[in-house]
Amino acid sequence: MFLHCGRHQLDLTTPMVMGILNVTPDSFSDGGHFTGFNAAIDHAMSMIEAGAGCIDVGGESTRPGAAAVTASEEIDRVVPVIEALATLSGVPISLDTSKAEVIRAGARAGASMINDVRALREPGALEAAAATQAAICLMHMQGQPRTMQHDPRYDDVVREVGEFLQARIDACELAGIARERLILDPGIGFGKRLEHNLQLLASLPQLLELGRPLLIGVSRKSMFGALLGRAVDQRLAGGLAAATAATLAGASMLRVHDVAATVDAVKLAVALQERGYTMLQRGPAPDSTTRPAP
């Protein structure tokens, strides 16, 4: 499946790893690590060297409880980094934002993708995105980042997420954004409990029926704290397992902090797929009272 991504045409037949570059002081995992321009560029280039096919630049944290950032402050954080990376690297640069002003500024600076946790629902965002040639990642989120984890509820999380994403595809097409520019993200961890996240990861083939590639972001997320009891800096194994499972289930892009390790996991999953691997349901446990026939 192809994704029209600004001046890039991405062939997602082989899944791509997207490296996360947060130029923020308060992101949950790496806040403050790459706020300096040189540190940000060096980290992005190291991720590209490790195999990242895309870099996602974010200037406002979307973790629960994070402080809001003005459009001008966000632009000041991301535009110099996008300009430099668009010149220095040959990979598409994604901009993680929801604001129309930032979308326009980022596209002028060289961003080839807009990664929006609000799926272009902020005022003017849909029109701003339509005026670019950038790819658009439409993500599902219940509520708003600062309160989304207070009490998320669903009757059927897979159906509801799918219906939301279909509605956003329809809105984009009505605004003149071609389907070939769209990639979908079910929003793991965004207004969802552990069970919701697991149900979505187990049901990616159903979401692929929407006809667009899927981007999955599970790197270092709180679901691994809930499921495995691991602190943020101890979640690599869980993230790799989830990335591998998502790749085998049909995901086309993995948004991660730990690029090199995820690239290896994706290579293994792809090698298995090329050799006919299929995901099978585990059968019932054998009855311990029975014995195989001689």
The catalytic site residues sit at: 221, 255
CB under 8 Å to 130, separation ≥6 — which residues?
172, 175, 176, 177
Beta-sheet pairing, 93-96 with 182-185: unpaired
From residue 221, how far is each of 134, 193, 211, 228 by CA, in Å?
Answer: 27, 12, 27, 11
From residue 63, how far is each of 30, 148, 276 by CA, in Å?
Answer: 12, 9, 39
Cα–Cα distance measured from residue 291 to residue 109, given in angstroms and rounded to the nearest whole number: 68
Quickly list H helices, the chain.
Answer: 37-49, 71-88, 100-109, 125-130, 157-174, 194-202, 204-208, 222-228, 236-248, 259-274
Cα–Cα distance measured from residue 149 to residue 152, given in angstroms and rounded to the nearest whole number: 6
Specify which residues 93 forms β-bridges with.
Answer: 55
Contact 258, 280 (CB under 8 A): no
Cα–Cα distance measured from residue 255 to residue 217, given in angstroms and rounded to the nearest whole number: 5
